[in-house]
Amino acid sequence: MKIILVLLETQWIIRLMFAYTLTDEQNLHTSLLTGYNRDLRPGYDRNKPLGINASFYLFSINDFDLNTGKFTITGVFLLNWNDERLSWNPATYNQGNTTSIPQKKIWLPNFINVNPFKDIKGLGSDLITVDVDYSGLCSWYAVQAFEVICDPDVTKYPFDTQYCALKFFIWGYDKTAVNLYFESSRVILTLYSENGIWEITDSTTHKQLHFHGNEEFVVGFHLKRRTDYYIASLILPISSISLLLGFVFLLPAESGERVGFATTILLSTVVYLTIIQGKLPEASEPNMSILGYILVSYVLSGTILVVFVIISLRIQNSPCDKPIPGIFVRFVVCCRRKRKMVDVKDIDSKSTIFKEDEDSQVTWKDVGTYFDLVCFFISVIQFMVTVTVYFSLVCA
């Protein structure tokens, strides 16, 4: 036990004797930065490119405005490279192995975002430091909020998927001078906080040749919209309202509420169309939203139904002494035959005969009643076809 205590005490004394102090780090900075030219890239052999290892960590998706195409995220670039001018012998500075140097005092790769939403600016800020170890290995954690342009495709809104990318150049250096490569082919999401609207289905980090022949560094995100909110607050309400349009023909004509009911439903559809148009970009490329076309079809069909309601009321309120055109009479007789079939049992077989209605028994009210039934069935069929077409297109 005494031996162990003696060893621990000896180790503690040695650490105090060779502790890395503020004076040591100050002397280290003075030695490293004296005569250091931050305008020259590292590398004694100028015929070999400087290798830079890059990784991108995503923190959060802040915003994606479909109207302006502004995609905003917060993340950090981790860039590693060797600068031989910043190497030292740890024994000279009481075993000091690492230090931090403000980024404005040493050479940095001029990482420029080339698809910004506003101003073009470089990576990092004067508040950020670079970690340097005794071998000259520099580690730059460039934390930043990135605002870039992302052209949205709202064809399948709100079941849409988007691809947004951050694009960078190392300004002033070509691939013969600086060779950057990504450590991972995907964005690292270990620090990511989930977004309530968008889900990241995939990501990519890669290099590609720009049309000028320069290398472009891309950090891309494949996004999928979370649709639960939109189904509950948009799709189901507008579908229910549109389905109600057909039921106006089941209201008694004597109630006097038909036109008001149909107009209210039509105005509700127009309000939803206005809400959706406020969320979608005004551009028509690459395509307009399918949902926009569906809502326009709902508005047009609602307008036609209001006209049919007025026509139906005019028919049912026509004077009794006004002659009924023959086509209307045949229409009513045909509908009656389909509804009043009488089965007659025979000894050998069953046969179906129709009970004929006299043309003289057809009134304007009968014409209006069957006209309402036909309009109701057409409206329901049209609604079902529209919904089926919409979901088949967005799910394709």
CATH code where residue 239 lies: 1.20.58.390
Query: How high is the pLDDT of residue 140?
Result: 93
Query: How high is the pLDDT of residue 351?
Result: 45
Instruction: Give a yes or no: residue 4 inside a domain.
Output: no
Using a pLDDT cut of 90, give the percent of the chain over it.
Answer: 24
Strand partners, 209: 215
Of 67-76, 185-194, 328-337, the one with minimum mean pLDDT is: 328-337
Query: How high is the pLDDT of residue 202?
Result: 94
- Domain co-membership, 153 together with 210: yes
- Domain co-membership, 39 together with 118: yes
Query: How high is the pLDDT of residue 193?
Result: 92
The answer to whether the beta carbons of residues 130 and 164 sit under 8 Å apart is no
- Domain co-membership, 241 together with 218: no
Instruction: Give a yes or no: residue 1 inside a domain.
Output: no
- Domain co-membership, 173 together with 278: no
The DSSP output letter for 235 is I
What is the pLDDT confidence band of residue 96, given thresholds at 50, 70 and 90? confident
Strand partners, 55: 78
- Domain co-membership, 182 together with 255: no
**Letter string b/e over residues 279-290, b meaning 16 or more CB atoms within 10 A of that residue's CB:** ebbeeeeeebbb
* End residue of a domain, out of 173, 207, 226: 226
- Domain co-membership, 256 together with 114: no
| Coil vs helix vs strand at 56 | strand
The per-residue pLDDT of the chain, averaged, comes to 81
State the residue range of the domain holding 125. 16-226
- Which has the higher per-residue pLDDT, 139 or 371? 139
- Domain co-membership, 86 together with 235: no
What is the rounded CA–CA span in Å between residue 224 and residue 158? 10
The CATH number of whichever domain residue 51 belongs to comes to 2.70.170.10
- Domain co-membership, 99 together with 86: yes
* End residue of a domain, out of 200, 226, 252: 226
pTM for this one?
0.78
The answer to whether the beta carbons of residues 80 and 52 sit under 8 Å apart is yes
- Domain co-membership, 94 together with 39: yes
Query: How high is the pLDDT of residue 6?
Result: 41
